[in-house]
Structure 1
Amino acid sequence: MPVSAPRSEPPAADVAAVFGRPDGVQGSFAGEHVPADRPEPRVAPPDAVLAEAFSKPAGVTDTLQRDPYAVPEPEETPEPDPWRDPDSTASMSRPAVPVPMPTGPTDRGPKLGIRELLFGGRVQWWALATLGILALLVGVFGGLIGRWTAEVATPLHSNSVQLDGSAPDTDASSNVARVVQAAQKSVVTIEVRTAVEGASGSGFIVDKSGYIVTNNHVISKAANDSKAKLEVVFFDRQRVPARIVGRDIKTDLAVLKVDDVADLTVSKLGDSDKLQIGQEVIAFGSPLGFDKTVTSGIVSATGRAVPLRPDAESDTDAVINAIQTDAAINPGNSGGPLLNDDAQVIGVNTAGAMTGGGSIGLGFAIPINEVMPIANALIKSGKVNHPSIGITAATVRNDRIYGAQVRDVADGSPASRAGVREGDVVTRFNGHAIEGADELTVAVRTSKIGDAVKFTYWRDGRYFDGEITPVSD
């Protein structure tokens, strides 16, 4: 039974419309259908600006344009070859075969001995005679020189010379030396040692019973650490434990006491109110731990308000009415005496202005006339009462006014009763000119509790006078 190939059915009309060949196409791939009416493309000439910017320079035929700023590398000039260049000049050249240079004898031969020199006939007789004459002349001349130096020059060594180091017995010591001799045994070194560190300062004896005056910042660590060790070292290196009698953070003063020490030398006290600028002074103490150190200078200013603020080393918060001196005062001098030329204590060395850790000739001491009332109060009761007027102030300096501007007035305080208001600027207090808050602090502290004092203040462009009576703080 014959078998015939299956016949496919023609596609549906909608399928043929989507997937069928276009009319007139017989192959599997359709060729590009170009409409008969499509115009041929033409290349338009480039814009004049673009042609100038991107076209090749005249005479250039390379595909890539060369850098117009590139410097061409110089061409190597071949060495001239007279065999190939008939126009070359004549020149010398090295020989084709090196010529060996002749060499002389290198052996100097045997040296001449005495026999060969005198009898060998190898030296002329007149040369031998000349050498003999020269030797004779050298011997005669050397003998004459030796004879002359022996008679004229003095000997270098002598058994008759004896050096004597004793000086004539005259009183030629300086004034500073006399002050040191008189005061050195009354000055002490104060050492404070804690579990982790140590520090030292100075002090001076004010009573035979063992009372010693120093600065509060010298013994602050001992006061605030019950386990700290406090010792006093005397002039003869004797070490004695000390106790704190009292201290005052507002004046940076303190009093210590030692017991059972015989033959104490007490300091002589002077009058700091009689100091004059230019007067000679001597600072005694233990700067940087070097005890029994003395520096000298002059009083360069008085009544200098110097603030001392609390820090990691001390709880002192004071403004001192300082004596300014150019005698070197370094760390460790604190608490030591400032002496006049009569070996009298006229101040307590307290602070120094320093740059780079060293003295620059600006040292400050608390006047002894302000020290002794504080020391007496500490010895008597262990505490001090200071005058107060009940205000806080800040320094103001502008084109209108200089002074201490009141920032706060305590209710019921002497300042409140005197009519002082916030914003007032105090320009004078108890006879002292006030140019800042530190000067006002010193002026109030140096007044007396219960005694009325006059003051001047500025308000709304006008000056007013008032009276105020400080009370105890």
Structure 2
Amino acid sequence: MSEPEQGNGTPRSGVDDGAHRRLAPRPLNRPAVDPGQQAVFGRPRGVAGAFSADRPGLNGHSSVQLAPPPPEALSTAFGRPRGDDDTLLQRPPVDLNGEPEVEPVFWEGKPAGDAWRDPGASAVIGPPAVTEQPDTGPEPEPRPGPQLSVPELLFGRRVKPMGLVLLMVAALVVGAGGGLVGWLMGRVGNPLTDGGVTLAEVKPGKERPVGSVADIAQRVTPSVVSIEFKGASVAGVGSGVVIDGEGYVLTNDHVVAPAVQDTSAKLTVVFTDGKRAVAQVVGRDSKTDLAVIKVEVDNPTVLQFGDSDELAVGDTVLAIGSPLSLSNTVTEGIVSALHRPVTAAGENGGPQVTYDAIQTDAAINPGNSGGALVDSSGALVGINSSIRTETGGSVGLGFAISGNYARKVSQALIRDGEVKHADMNINVRSASAETAEGAQVQNVPDGGAADAAGIEEGDVITRVGDRMVRNAAELTVAVRDHEIGETVPVVLARQGRELTVQVTLRSD
């Protein structure tokens, strides 16, 4: 039988009887060797092996050093069976009779000369396996798909409404049960708590005896007001006391002075119940830092004057006002000192302020000015005016204008709009020496009360009437304690001698 020819025209050995048996291996094709290349790359003449006979072997030996034989265990496990001299690693399968077993080829059922089974056939790249689609016109625009409902969004598919309701009911039941269990465990876990406790309450109100601080504050605070002034360049808050049912309010002159000097400023009185009323200035006394304003208000609460001369050091007093813009503030203290002369600079270059003060340790702060100082009966015994401090805050040294003197000045301002003070018409300074301590006369104007009484320059005044004089400020308040035209004895020291002269006081 003739052998089939391959695609390259080279005959292949083997048998093809139409049973599609496996082809025999292709015969080796040894091309002729070029003599020039053989001379360059071939073995030297006389050398039959891989190395020259005179070339040193591996590891310095004359022959090639081979690897040591494998262990007997490996040879037994992976070596050829004993007695098998076949040198081929791959042996064809045989059947039970020892005959070679021929497996069917993978192209069974196809012609023997099919190019796909010919290893020597050339490779051809064919067209892509995608077929052309018929032209159906322009593609339609994509439309939005149907929106998901809440069940589809939560569960990924449609559910029955009844199933959703049952699921919600089950969730509520589980949550309520868990809350109840947690509440019970919390009660069991903390034996110190009791959710059903009800604390006892005292039904009757707190007893406030007559004359207590709470009782006095409740009665007095409605008559103490806040005074606000606001203008183009000034603004502030002070305090005042309603002293008459017609709406007259007594306060400090330095509280209303900024509003008087700024024509655009407006004075407003604020009562404890929140009512507000515009105020007008009735009169001012810059020398004693007192002023009276008036508001149109119906039936105000009036604070009555007490007798400040009856006060004693240690008596309880209350200071009421609007410190630091905090209205209706009540502080408690005692009378620290009486007849304490206080001087201060006048407003915007005005005359020096001098008054007879009640010293108290009740807390007085900026904004308390013009407020009330009341005694343990709730009577007005002073008008809070100033503090002495090095820090700017209250340190327990507050001063109030004597209530008796404030009553006299306020009456004069309401009647006449101005007030006149008794004066000796002399200039003095404070003096302290071994022989005398008091007010030393610096100048005696002609025609004045002191000149008519025979007081000379250099005299040291130590007493006016019944009041001792220790400095210049005390002389001023001692003289103003008397009436204009009144004749008072004045004790003075002159050249080491003590003299008493009678001085008829005149107006300032």
Structure 1: distance between partners of 2:452 and 2:350: 32
Q: Counterpart of 1:447 in 2: which secondary structure?
A: coil
Q: Within the alignment, does 1:198 sit opposite 2:235 as a pair?
A: yes
Q: Judging changes above 3 Å, is the alpha-carbon distance between structure 1 residues 196 and 170 closer, same or farther for their aligned structure 2 residues?
A: closer
Q: Which amino acid aligns with 1:279?
A: D
* Matches for 1:120-139 after TM superposition, within 5 Å: none
Q: Which amino acid aligns with 1:200?
A: V
2:285 paired residue among 248, 251, 259 = 248
Q: Which amino acid aligns with 2:416?
A: S
Q: Counterpart of 1:360 in 2: which secondary structure?
A: coil
Asked if the contact 2:318/2:333 (under 8 Å) is kept, the reply is: yes
Q: Which amino acid aligns with 1:433?
A: M
Aligned to 2:443: 408
Structure 2: distance between partners of 1:283 and 1:450: 36
Name the TM-score, length of structure 1 as normaliser.
0.65
Aligned to 1:85: none
Structure 2: distance between partners of 1:200 and 1:337: 15
Structure 2: distance between partners of 1:435 and 1:154: 74
Encode CA deviations 1:250-297: one digit per residue, 9 max, x unaligned.
Answer: 1110000001x2231011221101101100000000111111111100
Deviation of 1:381 (Å): 0.9
Structure 2: distance between partners of 1:169 and 1:242: 39
Structure 2: distance between partners of 1:452 and 1:212: 33
* Matches for 1:368-387 after TM superposition, within 5 Å: 368-387=403-422
Encode CA deviations 1:78-113: one digit per residue, 9 max, x unaligned.
Answer: xxxxxxxxxxxxxxxxxxxxxxxxxxxxxxxxxxxx
2:335 paired residue among 269, 276, 299 = 299
Structure 2: distance between partners of 1:208 and 1:281: 24
* Matches for 1:147-158 after TM superposition, within 5 Å: 155-158=191-194
Structure 1: distance between partners of 2:276 and 2:372: 20
Q: Which amino acid aligns with 1:245?
A: V
Q: Within the alignment, does 1:346 sit opposite 2:381 as a pair?
A: yes
1:171 paired residue among 207, 228, 235 = 207
Q: Within the alignment, does 1:463 sit opposite 2:506 as a pair?
A: no
Aligned to 1:270: 306
Asked if the contact 1:430/1:447 (under 8 Å) is kept, the reply is: no
Deviation of 1:168 (Å): 3.7
Structure 2: distance between partners of 1:244 and 1:234: 18
* Matches for 1:71-82 after TM superposition, within 5 Å: none
Encode CA deviations 1:434-472: one digit per residue, 9 max, x unaligned.
Answer: 111111111111111111100111111111111001011
Name the TM-score, length of structure 2 as normaliser.
0.61
Q: Counterpart of 1:457 in 2: which secondary structure?
A: strand
Q: Judging changes above 3 Å, is the alpha-carbon distance between structure 1 residues 381 and 172 closer, same or farther for their aligned structure 2 residues?
A: closer
Q: Within the alignment, does 1:220 sit opposite 2:257 as a pair?
A: yes
Deviation of 1:160 (Å): 2.9
* Matches for 1:429-440 after TM superposition, within 5 Å: 429-440=464-475
Encode CA deviations 1:171-198: one digit per residue, 9 max, x unaligned.
Answer: 1468111110011110000111121231
2:270 paired residue among 218, 222, 233 = 233
Q: Within the alignment, does 1:284 sit opposite 2:338 as a pair?
A: no
Structure 2 stretches lacking a partner, 5+ long? 1-187
Structure 2: distance between partners of 1:159 and 1:465: 86
Structure 2: distance between partners of 1:418 and 1:309: 30
Deviation of 1:306 (Å): 0.6
Aligned to 2:400: 365
Percent identity between the two aligned chains: 44
Asked if the contact 2:444/2:457 (under 8 Å) is kept, the reply is: yes
Structure 1: distance between partners of 2:256 and 2:193: 62
Asked if the contact 1:220/1:315 (under 8 Å) is kept, the reply is: no
Structure 1 stretches lacking a partner, 5+ long? 1-151
Deviation of 1:153 (Å): 10
Asked if the contact 1:201/1:332 (under 8 Å) is kept, the reply is: yes
Asked if the contact 1:217/1:316 (under 8 Å) is kept, the reply is: no
Q: Counterpart of 2:397 in 1: which secondary structure?
A: strand
Q: Counterpart of 1:204 in 2: which secondary structure?
A: strand
Deviation of 1:219 (Å): 0.6
Q: Which amino acid aligns with 1:384?
A: V
Q: Judging changes above 3 Å, is the alpha-carbon distance between structure 1 residues 154 and 389 closer, same or farther for their aligned structure 2 residues?
A: closer
Structure 2: distance between partners of 1:171 and 1:210: 34
Deviation of 1:167 (Å): 4.9
Asked if the contact 1:352/1:363 (under 8 Å) is kept, the reply is: yes
Structure 1: distance between partners of 2:251 and 2:190: 65
Q: Judging changes above 3 Å, is the alpha-carbon distance between structure 1 residues 440 and 157 closer, same or farther for their aligned structure 2 residues?
A: closer
Encode CA deviations 1:364-393: one digit per residue, 9 max, x unaligned.
Answer: 111111111111110011000111111010
Asked if the contact 1:252/1:317 (under 8 Å) is kept, the reply is: no
Structure 1: distance between partners of 2:355 and 2:282: 21
Q: Counterpart of 1:369 in 2: which secondary structure?
A: helix
Asked if the contact 2:247/2:300 (under 8 Å) is kept, the reply is: yes
Asked if the contact 2:335/2:360 (under 8 Å) is kept, the reply is: yes
Q: Judging changes above 3 Å, is the alpha-carbon distance between structure 1 residues 288 and 172 closer, same or farther for their aligned structure 2 residues?
A: same
Q: Which amino acid aligns with 1:207?
A: D
Structure 2: distance between partners of 1:288 and 1:340: 23
Q: Counterpart of 1:255 in 2: which secondary structure?
A: strand
Q: Which has the larger radius of gyration?
A: 2
Give the number of the structure whose residues are more often strand, by fraction. Answer: 1
Structure 1: distance between partners of 2:469 and 2:253: 27
Q: Judging changes above 3 Å, is the alpha-carbon distance between structure 1 residues 445 and 400 closer, same or farther for their aligned structure 2 residues?
A: same
Q: Counterpart of 1:322 in 2: which secondary structure?
A: strand
Asked if the contact 1:252/1:316 (under 8 Å) is kept, the reply is: no
Q: Judging changes above 3 Å, is the alpha-carbon distance between structure 1 residues 167 and 362 closer, same or farther for their aligned structure 2 residues?
A: farther
Encode CA deviations 1:34-67: one digit per residue, 9 max, x unaligned.
Answer: xxxxxxxxxxxxxxxxxxxxxxxxxxxxxxxxxx
Q: Which amino acid aligns with 1:226?
A: T
Q: Within the alignment, does 1:422 sit opposite 2:457 as a pair?
A: yes
Asked if the contact 2:223/2:301 (under 8 Å) is kept, the reply is: yes
Asked if the contact 1:386/1:472 (under 8 Å) is kept, the reply is: yes
Q: Judging changes above 3 Å, is the alpha-carbon distance between structure 1 residues 354 and 246 closer, same or farther for their aligned structure 2 residues?
A: same
Structure 2: distance between partners of 1:325 and 1:217: 20
Deviation of 1:156 (Å): 3.6
Deviation of 1:170 (Å): 4.3
Structure 2: distance between partners of 1:248 and 1:193: 22
